Amino acid sequence: MTAQEDVPIGKIAALLIVGLITFGLAPILVRFATDIEPMALAALRTGFAVLCLLPFWIPKRTSLSVLKENGVSHILLALAGISLGLHFSFWIASLHYTSVASASVLVTMHPVMLIVAERLIFSKKFKLIVWVGVIISFSGSVLLGVADDTSLEAFPNALLGNTFAFTAAVIFVVYFMLGRKIRQYTEWIDYVFYVYLYATITCTVLVVFWVGGIPAVSGTALLVGFALAAGPTILGHGSMNYAVKYVSPTLLSTLVLSEAIFAAIAAYFIFSEVPTLFSLCAMVVIMIGVSLTWYKRVKKA
């Protein structure tokens, strides 16, 4: 597969729709595994993803030496996986020290960071409507964070938690930018397998460091970890990793913000949670921003 291969826009759109729906299920699934250390759940999530992909990767696998000949740096591939593992870990860790609202607002800064990075580093030009869409969608995310900030507790280490969340956003930018570069020269299955493998190693090392050892895992946690791997990781992140070869990371990053809307819909049907009017307004703002960003902007490589 080459960078010049034509891919139908409909195929990309279908994959991204499925990916976003599974993304929205992630917070729902996590709520069924409150008995396990969150960072350990991240390790299970990535580990099960590797195991699920293994039977599909083995018959089609490309060795690291061949990937190198094709233009894929092993170092960059490892960095992409480490970045994903660190992103999961910093994001989860931030929730231990600051409010969900603050963490959510800071971690969703990645579309703003990406559009600036693509403009300054790769001299990529975006039309005004894309800039406006990014800003509006991010503003909707901020409003949604404010609407969801119902915590009355004090967070004495809020600065540390906010720093973790901001770091998670920066690392997500690095992860997406690396993915854009690597995916030009590699098949999807090779890219996601190696990335999830390095992410698993990263999360496992951090769990041992953070928890002080491998924690006990219940049967429920194992089931949730598997569900997170099959859905939000392989289908969710996987769809993004497929599309990043053909679509700007900025557009994909902005699209990720609509995850909160799918999560709210799932929470309504599963937990009978009715969003507030303010939350609904914030969701509308997000969709307006995403719509502007994507308006006639999907391009082939």
Over 60: is that where the pLDDT of 150 sits?
A: no
Give the whole-angstrom CA distance, residue 289 versus residue 301: 24
User: Sign of dihedral through CA atoms 43, 163, 173, 239?
Assistant: positive
pLDDT (0 to 100) of residue 202? 95
% of the chain beyond a pLDDT of 70: 89
pLDDT in tens, 125-149: 888 888 888 888 888 877 776 766 5
Give the whole-angstrom CA distance, residue 70 versus residue 262: 38
Average pLDDT (32-58) is 89
User: Sign of dihedral through CA atoms 194, 199, 202, 208?
Assistant: negative
Quickly list H helices, 95-187. Answer: 100-107, 110-121, 128-148, 158-182
- With beta carbons less than 8 A apart as the criterion, state whether 107 and 94 touch: yes
Lowest mean pLDDT, pick from 4-8, 95-99, 184-188, 194-198 = 4-8
187-191, 271-275, 281-285, 294-298 — most confident range: 187-191
Residue 67 neighbours by CB under 8 Å, 6+ apart: 74, 77, 185, 186, 190
Residue 2: band (very low, low, confident or very high) from pLDDT cuts 50, 70, 90: very low
pLDDT (0 to 100) of residue 148? 60
User: Sign of dihedral through CA atoms 199, 202, 205, 210?
Assistant: negative
Over 60: is that where the pLDDT of 38 sits?
A: yes
Residue 107: band (very low, low, confident or very high) from pLDDT cuts 50, 70, 90: confident
**What's the whole-number average pLDDT of the chain?**
82
Over 60: is that where the pLDDT of 152 sits?
A: no
pLDDT (0 to 100) of residue 141? 76
